[in-house]
Structure 1
């Protein structure tokens, strides 16, 4: 059985000891899990060498998915970024995360993913808009502006281009729209593997617009499909200079290097991609696979490379052989990648949090020497193989040699500059999007098709149609279909993510400020009108409600969906509750309810948890958008001021309270259980009877549970004298106690 021990620098496999393959499978799984957990911990603490050792050991116990090395990849990436920032003039750039309403107006139509003019714009659930191409290729896991999870791709096939935005882009940028259509054709030809036709079309686009970066990217993919790697790399090298913060450029470059069997070079380029965007998922997956191969005990390449690194005595000779082999397989322009190999390996197994200064000494003005101690990793095909039992020892010896050779510096050859030099500060800004031609923009281009007014808080459905958020919600109250194309919006309704479409909202605020201000003022006026709790108060005509007593509601009618939503949006969270009246529509007296929470169901219905607030009397009745409204006046109990009257009131109160407790205890247990489940326990006796405008809470709790006609309950609710209310309750209890309890 193998033995794990430590020499102070990390755990490794003791030399001369093999693996006992007769171990119980469950024990093996448990050991593997423990080792993986330890490796993750070491990687999270930036102990890269020890983590590599343990991951290699874990793989010996059984299969490990490449994605389980995610923590190790994060550690490698941190070291890579820290190392390449060791020179004060070098920085790794990151994309800015600004809301479209706050960024430069000229960037409103820029895709957050590729930083180019939007093409076939798709608006995702968080309200941000991307090129269709960026979303279809799964280039990132999180929204670049709000970090919303983008890995849930169930909605992607349902998304359609934003109709309003597509029309605006074609109107404002007709020539770019034509180019985008041609590029889309190139990508269709690529998918069909019609490379010659795709090359001809992409050449035509570049001839008409030499600065079209996306067309050059597509042409590089075409060249790769034709196995013309030299031409593909040439296009990508130009893009690395002109668009140095575009992660996809580095990813495509890394993929081509992989096809050329330059694994270590591709790893460095993939790390450059992740340095620009840690959420660039395709590059992360490739790094995970490469690192998995490097630490896997069945990987012949890494074992051969480790042996040659540890045993070879002539690094200069290795360098010459390495370059000659690479030049025989790759175009001349790729010779600079071979010089980066020592840099890549030092990131993987030599640079760690506690030793960054050692790694930094390898770099002078962004160059690496051509005679580094680890260049033998390239000669993987001709080197003898290591046995599994020696892998841990050789890994340990290799790490020691790496540290010993960390003083090697550049020999002065400018032609061996690192590829990462393209990411220096001052040159990593995206090409600005074209300014929006304000003279072409009209308010009629941005009108809601439902209310025929300028968009206010525009929300875009998965089918690509845009409406005012409030207008869309009102439509979904009645049916779960798009008001324009009738496409089902059941999933959209269930998610309730009616987020504002930031591009359109920013466009209105920046280019139609006067119209937006007027529209905003109208919205405020409408909201203030709905916020008045004495005028035009919304009325829910349903059941009796009482102060302090819970009143749960199931809301399914469209008019009441709208009413509840308005109560929440205005911030009042209150509405009136009355019982029905055949002549007047609803009773003259009721109780205001306060919303405590709303739980929306997938089909638009909701369960609303409310509690009684204040009693009121109806003065005038009205109607708004299908639901009843009323002007009301709040009721308060008339207080007793003389001491004698207050003493008699207290005696009556105590007498009726005891009678109420006796009646409740006389009920059968299942009846008591139902009451307690629905209304909660009976409130305690209060010492100050006149502390609140509505009197003791237990009176209202008892009135709610008493089995009497709602009309009789309504007469008690309308009373403004606590004494009269107690007498009324006493009469009811006396009557109920006279009836045999069945």
Structure 2
């Protein structure tokens, strides 16, 4: 129900509504008690903190944690152990676990004694009341059980398990209709709870088939309204009455408990929250299934250059890495909120450092200056093939340095990098290249990427540099020379004539080759006319320069040329060669 408020303090496990004891962090970034996550009787497979619209899109983070036997979050466990107030909470939870073990061994009186000792010291420990109520129910001391479970619901009015436990007690007392209504109250909190549905169905079946139950529904509702927990004027007993140091994004309200005030923030040090790889404050902290925590980018780069294993314990991360590289693994919410809340200055400095080190894409000027000279700016350089404007350039990226470059580029607004060929004479990349725009990127399970790019503007290299083992360059965009009016009309017609000549050649090809070319080009390009405003000339010419069998040095000449007429001449020379070769090919075939 949308009217039901759910506790959102990140220190509280939403399954037991208690402090997170022996914390396990799921790959969605949320943290819960180890016992709650690994409990075989726990049916729900969706993280209650994750939005409903993403729960069905990827594999359940809870199921993943169970299948991979995820370890406790060592980092958070150390933080909790350093806090005196949190240690007291953990001691109470440990006593509750001890009482639960006695309950499982059927040592019911010992369990009651332990629960009673806890309640005597702390009258707000709902888990102790809950455990004692279940024990009293087994001993058929229903009045005591009902009193305890009412206290649980008073303390935690939005915890469905309290209502289910009360319904089971009422059911044992032969109060079938109140039991049914109590289970329905639990389902209003969590309508998808399978255990709650089973309890409600059993109670409904009994109500419908029990002739000895003399209570009607109206009277039962009145009886339930007499319970303190069902009144609208409930004053909830808070775990902490005031919380002046809430974590950022902590959504607890005056009606829901918050444990942020119990955190010993005065005795923490920013250096305790450093990444063990980069030795800087954790940025976008990621928790591995083995329970260790790193900056997301640090972990990915470590795996890029070594193997898919944890840098600390060397446990395999082969199943985890595909989720990480495909951005399914979210930051560890609790650690991220701690650093942002308690170390604001260090957090701001760390963000600036991250942006300086990682957000290194091209900031493309909107237009060239009137003088014909463009602004000089820096871009990352991919040394591979000769790419041309308006032409697609698919890439298979597997080298660690280029993996890093692609990740950084895809995060920028421009999504653009430079492509240059290697010059064997100068033993570096060429002086001219093309800006490539990333239209799409798919990661493989081992971190490689298939990148769909298309050429945009041409550039000239001014200076060369290096960054994290890949090349960079300060570049200047280039454009064609201005076409005088007396030459424009002739060049305009030359463009159309050349296009028609290439088109006629294409139509004479056999159907199989025409189909292959059309698929490669995503349809044969139309003829776009020459205009005064064009910086690189008609796009069809670049597409044909990339498609036709032209020697690489001529393609490079076309790329660096600022004359559209020269590029058309290269295309026409190629057509002369192809048309002259065609009759010879036919005659050879006839002779054979």
Classify the TM-score, shorter chain: 0.7 to 0.9
Counterpart of 1:700 (choices 542, 554, 567) is: 542
Matched, 1:256 2:169: yes
Counterpart pick for 1:558 among 383, 392, 400: 400
1:310-459 matched pairs, under 5 angstroms: 341-342=217-218, 367=222, 417-419=225-227, 421-428=229-236, 429-433=255-259, 434-459=261-286
Q: Which has the higher contact order (CA 8 A, sep 6+)?
A: 1
Shift of 1:210: 4.1
Residue 313 of structure 2 aligns to a residue whose secondary structure is coil
Residue 96 of structure 2 is matched in structure 1 by: 183
Alpha carbons of 1:96 and 1:206: their partners in 2 closer, same or farther (altered >3 Å)?
closer
Which SS does the other structure have where 2:51 is aligned?
coil
Tell me the residue number matched to 2:388.
546
User: Does 1:147 pair with 2:51?
Assistant: yes
Cα deviation for residue 285 of structure 1 reads 3.3
| C-alpha distance in 2 between matches for 1:239 and 1:493 | 42
Q: Distance in 1 between matches of 2:378 and 2:101?
A: 59
Q: Output the CA distance in 1 between the equivalents of 2:116 and 2:7.
A: 32
SS for the counterpart of 1:670 is: helix
Q: Tell me whether 1:129 sits opposite 2:38 in the alignment.
A: no
Residue aligning to 1:627: 470
Contact 1:141 1:281 in 2 (8 A): no
SS in 2 for 1:715: helix
CA contact (8 A) 1:244 1:423 kept: no
Q: Is the 8 A contact 1:160 1:462 kept in 2?
A: yes
Deviates further, 689-698 or 487-496:
487-496
Looking at structure 1, the residues matched to 381 and 105 of structure 2 have their Cα atoms a distance apart, in angstroms, of 62
User: What SS is found at the alignment partner of 2:6?
Assistant: coil
Q: What is aligned with 1:729?
A: 571
- Residues 631 and 274 (structure 1 numbering): CA distance in 2 closer, same or farther, change over 3 Å? same
Q: Which runs of 5+ in 1 are unaligned?
A: 1-77, 82-91, 98-106, 295-300, 309-317, 323-338, 345-362, 369-415
Whether the 8 Å contact between 1:220 and 1:233 is mirrored in structure 2 is: yes
Displacement, 1:279?
4.2
Establish whether residue 240 from structure 1 lines up as the match of residue 153 from structure 2: yes
Partners of 1:614 and 1:177 in 2: how far apart?
A: 61
Asked if structure 1 preserves the Cα contact closer than 8 Å seen for 2:24 and 2:71, the reply is yes
8 Å CA contact 1:456–1:520 kept in 2: the answer is yes
1:682 and 1:698 in contact (8 A); partners too? no
Distance (Å, rounded) in 2 between the aligned partners of 1:206 and 1:304: 38
Take 1:593 and 1:174, find their aligned partners in 2: how far apart are those partners?
55
Q: Which deviations, in whole Å up to 9, do the C-alpha atoms of 1:162-199 show, x marking residues without a partner?
A: 22211111111222222233333444454565545544
8 Å CA contact 2:360, 2:412 repeated in 1? no
Quote the Cα distance in structure 1 between the aligned partners of 2:394 and 2:151. Answer: 65
User: Which position in structure 2 is the counterpart of 1:461?
Assistant: 288
CA separation of 1:304 and 1:425: change in aligned 2, threshold 3 A: closer
SS at match of 1:576: strand
Distance 2:102 2:92 in 1: 15
**1:96 CA displacement:** 5.5
| Distance of aligned partners of 1:477 and 1:697 in 2 relative to their CA distance in 1, 3 Å threshold | same
CA distance in 1, matches of 2:202, 2:450: 48
Give the number of equivalent residue pairs.
538
Q: Which moved more, 1:466-475 or 1:716-725?
A: 466-475
Q: Which residue of structure 2 aligns with residue 486 of structure 1?
A: 314
Does residue 269 in structure 1 map to residue 182 in structure 2?
yes
Provide the secondary structure at the position in 2 that maps to 1:595: strand
Question: Which position in structure 2 is the counterpart of 1:331?
Answer: none
Check whether the contact 2:171–2:203 (CA below 8 A) recurs between aligned residues. no
The answer on 1:654 being equivalent to 2:479 is: no
Is the Cα contact below 8 Å between 1:682 and 1:702 reproduced in 2? no
After superposition, the Cα gap between the structure-2 partners of 1:715 and 1:432, relative to the gap in structure 1 and judged at 3 Å, is closer
Matched residues in 1 for 2:416 and 2:258: separation? 49
Structure whose residues are more often helix by fraction: 1
Match of 1:641 in 2: 484
Report whether the alignment pairs 1:95 with 2:1. Answer: no
Query: 3-state DSSP class of the match of 1:467?
Result: strand
- 2:372 matched to which residue of 1? none
Secondary structure of the corresponding residue to residue 707 of structure 1: coil
Contact 1:527 1:570 (C-alpha < 8 Å) held by counterparts: no
Query: In structure 2, what is the Cα distance between the partners aligned to 1:499 and 1:275?
Result: 29
**How many angstroms does 1:135 deviate by?**
3.1
The separation in 1 between residues aligned to 2:430 and 2:539, in whole angstroms, is: 23
Deviations 1:545-582 (A, max 9, x none): 11111222222222222111111112220011122223
The separation in 2 between residues aligned to 1:219 and 1:267, in whole angstroms, is 22
Q: CA deviation at 1:259?
A: 4.7
1:201 deviates by: 4.0
Partner SS state of residue 266, structure 1: helix
> For residue 381 of structure 1, what is the aligned residue in structure 2?
none
Deviation at 1:701, TM superposition (A): 0.9
Q: Deviations over 1:568-600 (max 9, x none)?
A: 112220011122223423222211110112122
User: Scaled by the length of structure 1, what TM-score is found?
Assistant: 0.67
**Larger-gyration structure (1/2):** 1
- The separation in 2 between residues aligned to 1:658 and 1:615, in whole angstroms, is 26
Contact 2:179–2:203 (Cα < 8 Å) also in 1: no
Cα deviation for residue 477 of structure 1 reads 3.2
- Give the aligned partner of residue 65 of structure 2: 156
SS in 2 for 1:570: coil
User: 1:271 deviation in Å?
Assistant: 1.4
8 A Cα contact 2:183 2:199, kept in partner: yes
Q: Does 1:218 align with 2:131?
A: yes
Cα pair 2:124 2:155 within 8 Å, conserved? no
Match of 1:523 in 2: 354
Distance 1:733 1:193, change over 3 A: farther
1:302 aligns with 2:208: yes
The structure-2 alpha-carbon separation of the partners of 1:602 and 1:418, relative to structure 1 and needing over 3 Å to count, comes to farther
**2:432 is the counterpart of 1:589:** yes
